[in-house]
Amino acid sequence: MVAQLPDPIKIVRRAGDVRIHTFISSFTDDNIANATHIIESRNKLVLVDGQFLVPYALQFREYAAGIGKQIERIYLSHRHPDHWFGLGAAFSDIPIFALPETIAFLKQHGEDSLKDHWKMGNLAPKSLIIPEQTVRAGEEIIDGVKYVFDEVVDTEIDFLLTIGLPDLGVFIAQDLIYSGTHLYLTKYMEHWIGILQHMLLSDYDIFLPGHGFPADKNEVARNIEYLSVAMEAVGKGLASDAFKQFMIERFPERKCPAIFDIYMPRLFDNASEF
């Protein structure tokens, strides 16, 4: 279901003539609070991710248009459908950048992934957009703002693009952290914890997640705790519904339990990656 109005849109940080905006889809029903972001600099907008469901992708585009500056480009953080489906609905005219592995996966499996989601009906886009521009680890100045790109492997996804904005203290972590919501778990939990511990030592103080509200280091630490508890439960043999029930009881404050049903077939039953 799609809520009548968009859930919160936040200005996360202002510094000089740069503003960081976060747009979050609904936390209710079967939604998973997809968070997409805008770096607004003096003349341009840079977007991160394209939302999942068509109505939210359109709302995100409308919000960006309302700022009144040219959308220079979009960075796609990774290949999970809840981050790129919306690109086909609302951003087909914008240059899209992604890691080479993400582009290769979408070329190979993107159409299958779209077909696999036929039950979504009009909430899924009609067509697929494959990012054509490659981004690699390194630094770039865009419209006067310093961007630090990194490629993180084997966490919530095999290949993830992160974007640091060191002059703003903002780190766009996307699905390395789930802010206030249940995490999408993978077999890489131990390595993932190591990456989060590294983030705790960084100079960044705002961490933008792929799901939920902008986070601080406390939330990063809570994600480490969540992963540690989940690893221990899996180690004890908890699986599927028993695992879900255990995690919901252990973390009653976290929202968006719909995510369990998305990842559990992959974590416990070897379902396909898309």
Name the segment binding Zn ion (CB under 5 A); options: 11-19, 78-86, 115-123, 261-269. Answer: 78-86
Q: Which two tokens stand for residue 184?
A: 């999408």
Burial annotation 5-26 (CB, 10 A radius, 16+ → b, else e): ebbeeeebbeeeebbbbbbbbb
CB nearer Zn ion, residue 7 or residue 175: 175
CB nearer Zn ion, residue 34 or residue 59: 34
Q: Using the rule CB under 5 A, which residue among 53, 82, 105, 171 binds Zn ion?
A: 82
Min dist CB 144 to Zn ion, Å, is: 30
Name the segment binding Zn ion (CB under 5 A); options: 16-24, 63-71, 72-80, 218-226. Answer: 72-80
Q: In sequence order, which residues have a C-beta less than 8 Å from that of residue 158 and are 6 or more positions away?
A: 101
CA distance 245 to 14: 41
CB 43 within 8 A of CB 69: yes
Q: What are phi and psi of 176, to 5 degrees?
A: -70, -30
Q: In sequence order, which residues have a C-beta less than 8 Å from that of residue 39 and are 6 or more positions away?
A: 18, 20, 45, 46, 47, 48, 145, 165
Min dist CB 80 to Zn ion, Å, is: 5
Of 220-259, binders to Zn ion (CB under 5 A) are none
CB nearer Zn ion, residue 18 or residue 131: 131
CB nearer Zn ion, residue 157 or residue 206: 157
Q: Are strands 44-48 and 70-75 parallel, antiparallel or unpaired?
A: parallel
CB nearer Zn ion, residue 145 or residue 176: 176
**Site size with Zn ion, rule: CB under 5 A:** 4
CB nearer Zn ion, residue 210 or residue 212: 210
Q: x/- binding map, residues 132-171, to Zn ion, per CB under 5 A?
A: ----------------------------------------
CB 186 within 8 A of CB 176: no
Q: x/- binding map, residues 184-223, to Zn ion, per CB under 5 A?
A: --------------------------x-------------
CA distance 16 to 145: 11
CB nearer Zn ion, residue 67 or residue 271: 271
- CA–CA distances in Å: residue 150 to residues 85, 173, 183, 249, 265: 23, 10, 21, 35, 29
CA distance 173 to 158: 14
Cα dihedral sign, 254-74-89-6: positive
Name the segment binding Zn ion (CB under 5 A); options: 80-88, 109-117, 165-173, 217-225. Answer: 80-88
Q: Using the rule CB under 5 A, which residue among 175, 185, 186, 189 binds Zn ion?
A: 175
Q: What is the DSSP letter of 121?
A: G
Min dist CB 41 to Zn ion, Å, is: 26
Q: x/- binding map, residues 22-61, to Zn ion, per CB under 5 A?
A: ----------------------------------------
CB nearer Zn ion, residue 63 or residue 263: 263
Q: Which residues bind Zn ion (CB under 5 A)?
A: 80, 82, 175, 210
